[in-house]
Amino acid sequence: MEKKGKVLMQKYELGRFLGQGNFAKVYHARNLTTGQSVAIKVIDKEKVLKVGMIEQTKREISVMRMVKHPNVLQLYEVMASKTNIYFVMEYARGGELFSKLAKGRLKEDVARKCFQQLISAVDFCHRRGVYHRDLKPENLLLDEDGTLKVSDFGLSALAETKHQDGLLHTSCGTPAYVAPEVLNRRGYDGAKADIWSCGVILFVLLAGYLPFHDSNLIAMYQKISRAEYSFPNWFSNDVRKLLSRILDPNPNARISIGKIMENRWFKRGFNSRHMRRGKTESKELGMQDGIAVSAPCEVIDSSLEVNSKKEVIKPTNLNAFDIISLSSGLDLSGLFAESDSKEDIKFTSPHPASTIVDKLEEIAGNLSLTVKKGGGVMKLERSSKGRMRELSIDAEIFEFTPSFHLVEMRKSCGDTFEYLEMLKQHVRPALSDIVWAWAS
């Protein structure tokens, strides 16, 4: 963790720690020249390189340079040292919208205002060929005036990344907010998928809970694919009609952003001219204004690679992501159903197999376990030594797609009580930053 009071690049004084993700930590900071409060995202360069995410980091920079809008968190500057990449960003003093929802649902007029700002930002992004792909309340921030700011473009895609069929093909997002067509691995329209996520967010703002939820991941996907949800009795008829058109499982029939903006409920109090015009709308060709990139070779050199000779474990390829939610005639619930034995745990992860393997090796090291690989299975072992009993844990990785994996962990040898305590106290907490959903 960076030290409070540390000065970066002789320009920014680091303040309190704000939060962290898989490869980055975020701090409040102060510009020593202007006194302006900013947020600095500190990205561990070695980790990013190690898992092959340099292209994703470059894309996030490119995207944030393109989408300068009042309702999109602004990127001011990108800097780099030998070990870290620094994103200097707008500081949203109000925190996550998600934290507001923890206190209960929003009043309809407040929810509508948030939704108007969200749609305005998403529309602006789509017009520039940017698709967010991970819209959820945790990625919506509020400034000190309550203005909504869309953040975290780490999973975003650009129009030029579409395949020849004109569609995107990377399955990503957060389970409860992801559109049904994203699950089928046949390609999807990024704009329509974002619209679905906006609809789920509106439902959550007004209801205080998710429209699609189930402890069984497969069952939840089936609900999403069939749009199985019900409205609370306090939802107005206008809201119900709008949400029914947004949460349409058929992307071709789903309402467009243009039509949303023409909707009677949506338009109440909506200043379309102000909301749809970005801060630099008159300078569309000058997208670099307002952003400085320090040491660009450090940040965006595509030749940066990691020379790793580590043994590679190849995950079992299931090729089944496309039938998770679409094949109602196939009962896959057993795959994710809770095990009769509490000794087995399963989780899904949106990370590459290499990242999952690295995390398991890190956990093994922290627990003084040796790692053996073979036959698609990782064994985390401890031989009997002194008072320490023999213990062996098997971990098997199943690949649905390159960006979606199921991991099964089970005890193959050793004391059950010790194993369960190890899972509870050490393994599960350590896995939290790569887990998409626990399946048992």
Which parts are annotated binding residues for ATP?
41
Residue 80, domain CATH:
3.30.200.20
Q: Is residue 291 part of a domain?
A: no
Whether residues 335 and 192 fall in one domain? no
Whether residues 322 and 360 fall in one domain? yes
Tokens coding 113: 């205002």
Whether residues 75 and 33 fall in one domain? yes
Length of the chain: 440
Q: Is residue 286 part of a domain?
A: no
Domain count within the chain: 3
Whether residues 21 and 122 fall in one domain? no
Enter the pTM of the model.
0.67
- The amino acid at 20: Q
Tell me the pLDDT tens digit for each residue of 99-129. 888 888 999 999 999 999 999 999 999 999 9
Q: Which domain holds residue 123?
A: 95-276
Residue % of the chain over a pLDDT of 70: 79
Catalytic residue among 134, 152, 189, 194: 134
Q: Is residue 351 part of a domain?
A: yes
Q: Across 185-338, where does the E strand assignment appear?
A: 292-293, 316-317
Q: Is residue 113 part of a domain?
A: yes
> Is the pLDDT confidence value at 282 over 70?
no
> Is the pLDDT confidence value at 309 over 80?
no
Whether residues 230 and 192 fall in one domain? yes
Whether residues 256 and 382 fall in one domain? no
Does the annotation count 134 as an active-site position? Answer: yes
Contact present, 182 and 131 (Cβ < 8 Å): no
Asked which of 91, 125, 148 is the last residue of a domain, the reply is: 91
Q: Categorize the per-residue pLDDT at 150 as very low, low, confident or very high, splitting at 50, 70 and 90.
A: very high
> Is the pLDDT confidence value at 319 over 50?
no
Q: What is the rounded CA–CA span in Å between residue 185 and residue 324? A: 10
Whether residues 195 and 228 fall in one domain? yes
Higher pLDDT, 91 or 419: 91
Q: Is residue 238 part of a domain?
A: yes
> Is the pLDDT confidence value at 335 over 70?
no
Which parts are annotated binding residues?
41
Whether residues 113 and 65 fall in one domain? no
Backbone angles phi, psi at 293, to 5 degrees: -115, 110
Query: What's the pLDDT score for residue 232?
Result: 96
Asked which of 276, 296, 324 is the last residue of a domain, the reply is: 276
Residue 120, domain CATH:
1.10.510.10
Whether residues 343 and 225 fall in one domain? no
Whether residues 134 and 238 fall in one domain? yes
Q: Is residue 311 part of a domain?
A: no
Contact present, 293 and 299 (Cβ < 8 Å): yes
Q: What is the mean pLDDT of residues 160-171?
A: 75
Query: What's the pLDDT score for residue 297?
Result: 32
Higher pLDDT, 402 or 352: 352
Whether residues 81 and 114 fall in one domain? no
Query: What's the pLDDT score for residue 137?
Result: 92
Whether residues 189 and 201 fall in one domain? yes
Asked which of 71, 91, 111 is the last residue of a domain, the reply is: 91
Residue 348, domain CATH:
3.30.310.80
Higher pLDDT, 48 or 278: 48
* DSSP-assigned states of every residue in 92-127: -TTEEHHHHHTT-PPPHHHHHHHHHHHHHHHHHHHH
Higher pLDDT, 414 or 70: 70
What torsion, rounded to 10 degrees, do the Cα atoms 323, 327, 332, 338 define?
Answer: 90
